[in-house]
Structure formats: structure tokens, C-alpha cells
């Protein structure tokens, strides 16, 4: 009798097991369907976000850029009463400087140095205006300064002088003084001097010497990549640039196409050992 009771209970257990399996399967199928539905909704939202146009108007960008544009660097130096306009004949044509700025970016403003060997003076030009003029020492008769168009390829504070087997560390005995601005002609540059009285004379070995306070100020006004135009003859352009006394810098408007040199600019050096023709 007990055996019959046990046997008769087995179909009920089997049926209950099937019911549980069916329920779990239904739950799994429903969960899978819900997950798939959520994924589709997320993909649709992502596609809508990608294709949605920007809310910023492109017409407003130039206005914002104009509003944020800084004032010209030479605003404090320009004097409209002393403006001298140079014709195209006064300025020799030149090649554009080699650009090291990545495509799509605006190049930083460049300044130009003009050196007159007969006047023994150096002028800093910014956007066609003379910012400042300085006296310089130029090459002696036997070691003349080079003329032509160059580029500042490096500069250094407190450089170490090297000439042949001689090396002089920074200090009062260094013939390069406290600043060096190297030209794209090897061995030549604009620098200070340990003989301040030599400035204004034709006495150097070809480089352009400046007084300590002048060369340190010039160092802050120019940068690597700026062009340097050296002239041996006092032509019409040089006469106009250096016509005004150094104490009253004139605003000189240069014609388009001012000369520059196609030279690859080297990396800026904060300190450097400079090998030069100066002694």
C-alpha cells in the first residue's frame, strides 16, 4: 500500500518541475527581448545626436574673433605725424620665410630687423613701423660684416663663447656679452660685448655688437624666425628708416613684399655655446 502512494506522487513532482522550467525560460526570453529593445533605442539616440546640427551659429564666430583680437603691438610707438611711406621701388622683393606653423593655425606676428652698415645702426620694424633704433658696432675693413637677408635661427641668454680652441664661460670677459641672436649665416650674429666703447665703430670681426642694456632689450623684442636685412649701401629705404634721430623713432610704412629669407628655423635655446668669428 505504501509503494502505491509513492509511485502515484512522482507525476506531480515531474509536472511541477516542467512548470518551473517553463517559467524560467519565459523570464529569460522576456529579458533578452527587453535588452535588445534597449540597445536599439540607445543606437537611435546616438545616431540622432551625431546628425543633429550645432546650435552655435557660424556667422557669430568671426564677430567673436574680432572682439577678442588684441590691439596691434606697435600701437604705443606709431606716430601718425611722422609716417613715411616707402614705394615698391624702395623695398627689394624677397622670398617668403619658411613656415614652421602647422597647417590650419595662424602664424605668430613677425618683426624685422634692418641694419645699416654705413649708419652703424639697427632698427626694429613691426608692421611697417620703427619701434626702436640702436647703435651697433660693425665689421672692420679687414673683417667686414656680411650684407643680405637673413633669419634669426637661435638665441641665448648668457652664452658661452667658443672660438677655435678657446672657450669662455658667461661673465664680464665673454666677448658675446649677455645675449646672442644667431643669424642664418654660420658664425655671425647680433650680440653684446665686453668692450662697451666699441659700439658705434667699424671694429668687429663681422658680427654686430650692441651695448648691454640695448642687446638685452632687443632680445625681448624679437624672436627666432624674425628676418634681418643688412645693407652695405645707404639706399633710399635705408635713408628713410634712419632719417629720424634715435631719440624720436619714426613710424615707417613698408610696402608689401618686404625682403625675408627662405631658411628653416632652428630650435630656440635658452642657453648655448656659440661658435663665432668674433674674438
For residues 95-102, give the mean pLDDT.
38
Residue-level pLDDT at 235: 92
Could you tell me whether strands 166-168 and 160-163 are parallel, antiparallel, or unpaired per DSSP bridges?
antiparallel
pLDDT of residue 87: 40
Residue linked to cell 526570453: 29
Least confident of 87-101, 132-146, 164-178, 190-204: 87-101
Average pLDDT of the segment spanning 178-199: 96
pLDDT score for 164: 85
DSSP secondary structure string, the chain?
-HHHHHHHHHHHHHHHHHHHHHHHHHHHHHHHHHHHHHHHHHHHHHHHHHHSPPSS-TTHHHHHHHHHPPPPTTTTT--GGGEEEPPTTTS---PPPPP-SPTTSPPPP--EEEEETTTTEEEEEETTEEEEEEE-BEE-SSSPPP-EEEEEEEEEESPEEEETTEEE-SSTT-TTTTEEEEESSTT-EEE--S-GGGTTSEEESSSEE--HHHHHHHHHH--TT-EEEEESS--HHHHHHTSS-TTS--EEEPPSS------PPPPP-SS-EEE-S--
Catalytic residue among 129, 155, 205, 207: 207
50: confidence class by pLDDT, cuts 50, 70, 90 = low
Q: Is the pLDDT at 272 greater than 70, yes or no?
A: no
Domain boundaries, the chain: 1-52, 73-275
pTM summary value: 0.56
The model's pLDDT over 217-263, given as tens digits with 9 standing for 90+, comes to 999 999 999 999 999 999 999 999 998 555 444 455 444 334 433 33
b or e along 103-137 (b: 16 or more beta carbons within 10 Å of the residue's beta carbon)?
A: eeeeeeebbbbbbbbebbbbbbbbbbbbbbbbbbb
The pLDDT of residue 26: 84
| pLDDT for position 20 | 83
Find the range with the poorest average confidence among 27-36, 117-126, 164-173, 198-207. 27-36
Pairwise CA distance, residues 257 & 260, whole Å: 9
Asked whether residue 46 carries a pLDDT value surpassing 50, the answer given is yes
- Name the fold adopted by 73-275: L,D-transpeptidase catalytic domain-like (2.40.440)
- Are the C-beta atoms of residues 90 and 241 closer than 8 Å to each other? no
Highest mean pLDDT among 47-56, 159-168, 257-266 belongs to 159-168
Q: Is 28 a catalytic residue?
A: no
155 noted as active-site residue? no
Position 141 pLDDT exceeds 90 = yes
**Mean pLDDT for the stretch of residues 164-178:** 93
The mean pLDDT value of the chain amounts to 74
Amino acid at each position: 500500500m505504501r509503494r502505491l502512494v509513492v509511485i502515484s506522487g512522482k507525476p506531480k513532482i515531474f509536472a511541477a518541475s516542467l512548470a518551473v522550467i517553463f517559467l524560467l525560460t519565459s523570464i529569460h526570453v522576456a529579458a533578452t527581448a527587453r535588452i535588445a529593445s534597449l540597445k536599439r533605442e540607445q543606437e537611435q539616440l546616438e545616431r540622432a545626436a551625431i546628425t543633429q546640427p550645432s546650435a552655435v551659429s557660424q556667422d557669430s564666430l568671426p564677430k567673436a574673433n574680432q572682439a577678442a583680437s588684441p590691439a596691434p603691438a606697435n600701437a604705443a610707438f606709431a606716430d601718425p605725424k611722422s609716417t613715411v611711406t616707402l614705394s615698391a621701388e624702395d623695398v627689394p622683393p624677397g622670398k617668403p620665410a619658411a613656415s614652421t606653423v602647422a597647417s590650419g593655425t595662424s602664424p605668430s606676428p613677425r618683426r624685422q630687423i634692418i641694419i645699416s652698415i654705413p649708419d652703424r645702426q639697427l632698427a626694429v620694424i613691426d608692421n611697417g613701423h620703427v619701434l626702436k633704433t640702436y647703435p651697433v658696432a660693425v665689421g672692420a675693413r679687414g673683417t667686414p660684416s656680411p650684407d643680405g637677408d637673413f633669419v634669426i635661427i637661435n638665441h641665448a641668454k648668457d652664452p658661452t663663447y667658443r672660438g677655435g680652441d678657446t672657450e669662455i664661460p658667461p661673465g664680464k670677459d665673454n666677448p658675446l656679452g649677455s645675449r646672442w641672436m644667431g643669424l642664418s649665416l654660420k658664425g655671425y650674429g647680433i650680440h653684446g660685448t665686453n668692450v662697451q666703447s666699441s659700439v658705434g665703430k667699424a671694429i668687429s670681426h663681422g658680427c654686430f655688437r650692441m651695448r648691454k642694456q640695448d642687446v638685452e632689450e632687443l632680445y625681448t623684442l624679437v624672436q627666432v624666425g624674425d628676418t634681418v636685412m643688412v645693407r652695405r649701401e645707404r639706399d633710399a629705404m635705408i635713408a628713410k628708416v634712419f632719417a629720424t634721430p634715435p631719440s624720436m623713432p619714426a613710424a615707417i610704412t613698408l610696402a608689401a613684399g618686404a625682403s625675408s629669407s627662405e631658411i628653416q628655423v632652428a630650435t630656440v635655446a635658452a642657453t648655448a655655446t656659440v661658435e663665432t668669428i668674433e674674438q
